[in-house]
Amino acid sequence: MRPRIFITQPVAESAIERLRAVADVELNPDTLHIATKSELIAAVRDRDILFCLLHDRVDRDVIAAGSRLRAIASMKITPSDIDVAEATARRIPVTVIAPIVTEATADIHFALLLAVARRVAEGDRLVRAGIFPGAQSAHLLGFWVHGKTIGLIGGGGRIGRAVAKRAQGFSMRTLYWTPHRKPESEEREAGLTYVSYDELLSTSDFVSVHAPLTPETRHLVGERELSLMKPTAFLVNTARGPIVDEKALVRALAEKRIAGAGLDVFENEPRVEPALLTMDNVVLTPHLGSAVKELREQMASVVVDNIIAVLEGRRPPNCWNSEIYK
């Protein structure tokens, strides 16, 4: 009998075709519907492979329902929201993808930075509403980006360095802070200046979040940190939502203690803090970091490589819990 695979949302057709050559494939065809827990439980019953995406939560109950589950193949770099311990206990490999989203995420990061500083989204809404204030109207005055200071929280990593390269094109001064400072040679190469966390917050015109989500970084940007920022400064986050205390951010924005925010990630995705939806000085995108057609096709192909390895009885190339093979 051919293996059975369930895909939680549409992915690149080339990836689906590769899977259909070796297995029976079913998928949720709706790009706007995130599978509920009950739907995931139903999906894994009598399925050999679960092909899941970043927004899917695969908990202990979902894994337990997959009595013949041979792999959980995620299109994520790290398997957050997957109960890896439960999968490991059942000797089910959890696979991921390589960190190939750097440039795309840096692109959306800088897009948000520019959009919120220059009030691009506000301007778009006005034009669509039939309002054209005039080419030199003071109605949508924004902020300089060129020559300003950007501060990268956790900016020594791949995406932080990619954002720093883009900042060089705007002649920006680039600060960074991370718990583990990079060698001076790497700092020089990337055009980075290391400062303390508080100095970064108090001197940056754009505070740029790039830290990984860990128990230590949850609410790394909270009430205290936002109070250190300049009233003309912007917060941009394309890393992980829970790094920023969203309620504290709403208060800082409402009280005009900071100038605005550009957010691609949210603390309780897919739910967004309702007050953010009403604020003109906030630009919001629905976690578009890797949403580039060519990149998503490459990502899906990596997932397929992992799945085919499992079906052929081989250790998959991107196995997170590789100890199950020892």
pLDDT tens string 104-148: 999 999 999 999 999 999 999 999 999 999 899 999 999 999 999
Q: What is the pLDDT of residue 80?
A: 87
Percent of the chain's residues with pLDDT above 70: 100
Closest CA to 22 of 10, 5, 47: 5
Average pLDDT over residues 246-256: 98
Average pLDDT over residues 18-34: 97
Give the integer Cα–Cα distance in Å for 161 and 235.
17
CATH number of 4-99+292-325: 3.40.50.720
Q: Do domains 4-99+292-325 and 102-284 have the same CATH topology?
A: yes
Task: Judge residue 175's burial from the number of C-beta atoms within 10 Å of its C-beta, 0-12 exposed, 13-18 middle, 19 or more buried.
Answer: buried
Residue type, 152: L
Q: What are the tokens at 25?
A: 């494939």
Domain layout of the chain by residue ranges? 4-99+292-325, 102-284
> How many residues are recorded in the chain?
326
Give the integer Cα–Cα distance in Å for 156 and 162.
10
pLDDT tens string 66-104: 999 999 999 999 998 999 999 999 999 999 999 999 999
Confidence of residue 177 (pLDDT cuts 50, 70, 90): very high
102-284: CATH superfamily:
NAD(P)-binding Rossmann-like Domain (3.40.50.720)
User: 167 pLDDT exceeds 90?
Assistant: yes
Give the integer Cα–Cα distance in Å for 303 and 183.
34
Contacts of 112 (CB under 8 A, 6+ apart): 236, 238, 262, 263, 264, 283, 285
Give the integer Cα–Cα distance in Å for 251 and 9.
35
To which residue do tokens 């599978």 refer?
A: 35
Catalytic residue annotation: 240, 269, 287
Average pLDDT over residues 292-320: 98
Global pTM?
Answer: 0.93
